[in-house]
């Protein structure tokens, strides 16, 4: 990840969601009171092209996974 003071490696916790903020201590703006922290915001991107093989893998994943992607919805 590029920061104000060069690139760093950032370890993403497993099962992180898009939009999650990760605090990176002392990589933010410097001021009189010290150096601030950098907040890295995760953004999940997916491949813009898929071949037949990976499509099949995505399908297997969706079938194996017990997960309701619409859990946050208030449905009538």
Question: Which parts of this chain interact with its own copies (CB under 8 A)?
Answer: 2, 7, 14-15, 17-18, 43-50, 53-55, 57-58, 60-61, 64-65, 67, 69, 72-73, 75-76
Tokens of 33: 């009171």
Nearer to its own copies, 16 or 26 (CB): 16
Q: Minimum Å distance from CB 69 to its own copies?
A: 5
Residue 38 CB coordination number (10 Å)? 19
Q: Minimum Å distance from CB 39 to its own copies?
A: 17
Q: Minimum Å distance from CB 32 to its own copies?
A: 27
Tokens of 36: 């601030």
Q: Is 64 helix (H, G, I), strand (E, B) or coil?
A: helix
Residues 6 or more apart in contact with residue 5 via CB below 8 angstroms: 27
């Amino acid at each position: 990840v590029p920061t104000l003071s060069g690139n760093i490696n950032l370890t993403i916790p497993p099962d992180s969601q898009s939009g999650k903020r990760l605090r990176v201590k002392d990589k933010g703006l410097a001021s009189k009171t010290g150096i601030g922290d950098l907040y890295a915001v995760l953004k999940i991107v997916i491949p813009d092209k898929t071949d037949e093989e990976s499509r099949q893998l995505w399908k297997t994943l969706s079938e194996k996974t017990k997960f309701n992607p619409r859990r946050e919805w208030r449905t009538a």
